[in-house]
Structure 1
Amino acid sequence: MDDVGEHRIPRGIVAEATARTMFTLTRHAPAPELAEFVEYHWVLHWDRRGKPPHEQRVLPNLSVHATFFPGASGVYGPMHDVFSHRLEGRVQGLGVRFRPGCFRAFLDGPVSDIADRTVPLVDVFGPRVIEAAESVQIATDDAQMVRTIDNLLIANRAGLSIAARRAAEAVESIARDPGITRVAQLCADTGLTTRSVQRLFAEHVGCTPKWAIRIYRLNDAAQRIAAEGEPDYAGLAVRLGYSDQSHFIRDFRAVTGQPPGEYARTAGADTERTPDNDRT
C-alpha cells in the first residue's frame, strides 16, 4: 500500500488470494488539495494474454468511483449489488475512490441520482477528461497516472458544503464504531434526527443510512469468513448486532449474492497461483 492511511474501509475483493494472481493492485494517496474528497487512487495492471479471461467480483460499497480503463471508464455510483468485471488482454488503468459524502462537490445533483448507475466521465468532468483518460493509458508509471488525474480533479473541484461535511462525518461515525448497528444509534452519535440523516445520505452519500450500516457490517463479515473459512456463524451474527443467525444469513446473501458457506468456499479458492507484485 502506498502512503494510504489505514482505517475501516469496505473493499470487498472477492477471492482475494486468487485475485492477487490475476492482477497487481496498488493504492496511492491523492494530492493534498484533494485529501478531503478522495480516499485513495487505485491502480491496476494485468496481462492475461495467452491466458483465460478472469471474472473479478467486488462487493458493493458506499463510495463513488471514477475509473479510467479501456472499455470501463466512467463514474460509478454507490452500488447495491456485486460488481463484476472481465479481465482479458493487457491493461493498465486507474480508479479514484471518493470519500462517501464528498462526491456531491463534483456532481450537478444528488448522489442518489447516480446510485447503481454508471455515468460517462465527460458528463461530470467535462471534455478535458478525454485527454486525461488517454494520458493514463500511455503513462509509463503509476505516479504519472496519479498526477494526471489529480490535476483533473483539482481543476473540477468545488468546496465542500456544511451538509457534505456532516454526511461524511456520519459515515465516519459508522466506520469508526462497529457498535453502530441501527440508524437510531447513528442519530445519537451524530446528534441529528432520523429525517436529517436520511436527507443527508440521499443527497451526499447516495444510499440510505440503514444500507450504509449494513454494508460495513457485512463487509466485516465477509473479511472474517474469507480469513477463517467457516467461523461460528451464530457467534458472528451476535457480534455484528443481529438478533439471530438466519437474519444475518439473509442479509449476507442479499449483499454478496451467496450464502456464507458458499462465499467461504469461493473466497478460499486458490487457482492459477503465480507470483505478482501486489502490495495491498
Structure 2
Amino acid sequence: MAHRIPRGIVAEATARTMFTLTRHPPVPALADFVDYHWVLRWDRRGEPPHEQRVLPNLAVHVTFFPGASGVYGPARDVFSHRLSGRVQDLGVRFRPGCFHAFLGGPVSDIADRSVPLTDVFGPAAIRAAESVRTAGDDAQMVRAVDNLLIANPVRLSPAARQAAEAVESIARDPGITRVAQLCADTGLTTRSVQRLFAEHVGCPPKWAIRIYRLNDAAQRLVTEGQPDYAGLAVRLGYSDQSHFIRDFRTVTGQSPAEYARTAQAVRTGQGPDTKKAAGRIRPAASSSS
C-alpha cells in the first residue's frame, strides 16, 4: 500500500478555484530528506482576499512566500493563510523525521511555530528567496531552492532514518491506531519511540497517529458526505464516537457533521464562497492534487 501524505486542504473544491498547485520532486541528493517541492500561484488582483485553511500535518515546511517565508515546524492546529494580490512562490515539504540535520537540534523546538529562513540556512536563504521571486518558471524556482539545500551537505543519521521509518509505518498502515501497535511494528520500546519522535519528528507518537486518523476522517467526510459516525470512529480506532468528535473539533474547529455539510455545500455550489470564486482564478500552471 502506498503511504499516505496528509495534505488536508480544507474546502478543496473551492480552493482549486482560488489557486493552482503543482508538485515537483527534489534532486536525487535530497531524496532522503524532501518529499516534494510545491509551487502555488494565485492572482486575486481586484478580488477580495481568500482565507485558505490547511489541516495539521507532521512535515516541516520551508516556504518562500511574501509575508510567510520561514521554516514551519509540525503543527497541531489548522494553518490559515490569506491569499491576496498576485503571487507565485514555492515551499518544500520535508519527510517527517528528516529535518533534524538541517536544524541542528530537536525538531520539537520548532513545533507549532516558525523561525526565519536565515536562522537555519544563513544569508544564502535571502538570495534563494530572491531567485524564487524572480524565476521565470517552476524549474528555476526548484533549482534555486535545491541549490540552497545542497550547498552544505548533510547526512541522514541512523536515528533520523529510524524516525522516518516509524512515521512511514503509520502512513502505510491505517490499522496502527495505538502507540503500542507502532512499537510492535518497529520493535522499539515506548520510551524509545517517544524520544525518537521528540528529537526527529517534533511531536509525540500519539499525536502523529492522530494526525493521520483525522486527515483520513476529513477525506472520508468529503467523499462520503455524512457517513455512520459511530462506525467511522471505530474504523479509525476510537473507543467511542464522542472521543472522535472531540478530537476532530479540536483540530479542525468543526464537528464532523459540520465539516461534512461544508464539503457538501462546496461540491454542489451552495457554499458562500463558491459562487463568488467561480472563474476568478488566472491559472499559470495546472493544478495537482
TM-score range, shorter chain: over 0.9
Q: Which runs of 4+ in 1 moved over 4 A?
A: none
1:79 is aligned to 75
1:171 is aligned to 167
1:3 is aligned to none
2:256 corresponds to 1:260: yes
Indicate which of 244, 247, 250 corresponds to 1:251: 247
2:89 is aligned to 93
Q: CA deviation at 1:279?
A: 2.5
Within-5 A mapping of 1:106-121? 106-121=102-117
2:133 partner SS: helix
Q: 1: distance between equivalents of 2:147 and 2:221?
A: 39
Deviations 1:127-185 (A, max 9, x none): 01101000101111011100110111111341011110110000000000000000000
Q: CA deviation at 1:187?
A: 0.2
**RMSD over aligned Cα atoms:** 1.1
Q: CA deviation at 1:197?
A: 0.2
1:116 partner SS: coil
Q: 1: distance between equivalents of 2:288 and 2:107?
A: 31
Q: 2: distance between equivalents of 1:157 and 1:222?
A: 38
Give the total of aligned pairs: 275
Q: Which amino acid aligns with 1:60?
A: P
Answer with 8-17 or 247-256: which moved more.
247-256
2:288 corresponds to 1:279: yes
2:51 is aligned to 55
Answer with 41-50 or 235-244: which moved more.
235-244
Q: 1: distance between equivalents of 2:205 and 2:184?
A: 13
Within-5 A mapping of 1:91-240? 91-240=87-236
Deviations 1:75-121 (A, max 9, x none): 00000100000000000100000000000010121000000111000
Q: Which amino acid aligns with 1:68?
A: F
Q: CA deviation at 1:257?
A: 1.4
Q: CA deviation at 1:266?
A: 2.5
Unaligned residue ranges in structure 2 (runs of 5+)? none
1:44 is aligned to 40
Q: Is the 8 A contact 1:106 1:157 kept in 2?
A: no
Q: Is the 8 A contact 2:3 2:168 kept in 1?
A: no
Q: Is the 8 A contact 1:106 1:156 kept in 2?
A: no
Deviations 1:174-218 (A, max 9, x none): 000000000000000000000000000000000000000000011
Q: Which amino acid aligns with 2:86?
A: R
Q: 1: distance between equivalents of 2:229 and 2:24?
A: 35
2:34 corresponds to 1:13: no
Deviations 1:238-259 (A, max 9, x none): 1111111111111111111110
Q: CA deviation at 1:273?
A: 2.5
2:61 corresponds to 1:65: yes
Question: Identity over the aligned pairs, expressed in percent?
Answer: 81
Q: 1: distance between equivalents of 2:195 and 2:81?
A: 32
Q: 2: distance between equivalents of 1:245 and 1:51?
A: 41
Q: Which amino acid aligns with 1:245?
A: Q
Q: 2: distance between equivalents of 1:157 and 1:41?
A: 18
Q: 2: distance between equivalents of 1:236 and 1:156?
A: 46
Deviations 1:19-44 (A, max 9, x none): 00000000111110000100000000
1:156 partner SS: coil
Q: CA deviation at 1:227?
A: 1.4
Q: Is the 8 A contact 1:37 1:98 kept in 2?
A: yes
2:151 partner SS: helix
Task: Tell me the TM-score normalized by structure 1.
Answer: 0.96
2:30 is aligned to 34
